Amino acid sequence: MTPQHHIIKETSETLSRLLQDEFKRNGYKRVHIVEQAPKPDAIEGKLPAVSVYLYQMSIDPEGYDSTPASELVEVPQPDGTIKEYFRRRRLWVRLDYLVSAWAQTPEDEQLLLGLIIRVMTENPELTRDKLKGQSFEDDFKLNILLSARLDEGTLARFWGSLNQPVRPAVQAWTAVPILPEKLEEFKRVQSRQLEYKSITDPRVSEAGPNGVISAGLPPNNPFGKKLPEPPEPATPYGKKIELGGTGKK
């Protein structure tokens, strides 16, 4: 089983394989994919080539307060049961890629760039079966988005750091989670104890259900007991008068 922190590496490999498969499907079978900075020594001897370069990462782009501090995880056990654990929430990492094309002529480079843009727009979401590696969760989907163009100053500094003239490139980004390994066992409430007290007579108190019901028996209502009826109110004259007889002396 691949450790989950390999997800950044396997995301880059997924994007490279996606482009490689689409190039072959469209007749570009000799295009090399380079997963490193587009320097002359990395490209030399591999033309035509496409550089898929992870040039920037940002940790937790949505902010810590945007998601809960922890999450509930279900872990299958060897005996077939499921145990629940608490885990610190996943940390999302934004990955920014710069994709550039290299060929013998500018025309060939532009053809490759056009195909790269089409592949990115036709595959905005990659399902689990298209993801390379085992670091992704079974229901995970990788979203690929194209970014607006970089400003001229940023482009000049980037290519200048590689001793290269400014070249056209496609900027795309995605986000993947880093999952903590530390788990804390979570136990759900198995029973509850309720207590009933009368607000008019503090002497009346009963214990409620404990959540355990014997098999085959209906649940008993501990509050179904009829409370004693209050005594009859006394007459205004303090004595009850019995009426009867014929009324004759």
Q: Spell out the residues 6+ positions from residue 120 whose beta carbon is closer than 8 angstroms to its own.
A: 144, 146, 170, 172
Bridge partners, residue 51, by sequence? 34, 100
Count other C-beta atoms under 10 Å from residue 97's C-beta: 24
Distance in angstroms (rounded) separating the CA atoms of residues 167 and 177: 32
Q: Which residue has the tokens 């072959």?
A: 24
**Domains in the chain: boundaries:** 4-185
Among candidates 136, 145, 147, 132, which has minimal Cα distance to 176? Answer: 136
Architecture of the 4-185 domain? 2-Layer Sandwich (3.30)
Q: Given the DSSP bridges, would you call strands 70-76 and 145-146 parallel, antiparallel or unpaired?
A: unpaired
Planar angle of CA 48, 26, 114, nearest 5 degrees: 65
**Torsion angle of C-alpha atoms 33, 35, 36, 38, degrees rounded to 10:** 30
pLDDT exceeds 60 at position 65: no
pLDDT exceeds 80 at position 66: no
More confident of the two residues 56 and 40? 56
Q: Given the DSSP bridges, would you call strands 91-102 and 49-59 parallel, antiparallel or unpaired?
A: antiparallel
Which stretch, 74-88, 212-226, 232-246, has highest mean pLDDT?
74-88
H or E, element range at 98? strand 91-102
Average pLDDT, the chain: 79
Evaluate whether 207 touches 193 at the Cβ level (below 8 Å). Answer: yes
What percent of the chain is modeled with pLDDT above 70? 74
Average pLDDT on 123-147 reads: 92
pLDDT exceeds 50 at position 173: yes
More confident of the two residues 220 and 169? 169
Average pLDDT on 21-36 reads: 91
What percent of the chain is modeled with pLDDT above 90? 34
pLDDT exceeds 90 at position 236: no
Q: Given the DSSP bridges, would you call strands 142-143 and 82-88 parallel, antiparallel or unpaired?
A: unpaired
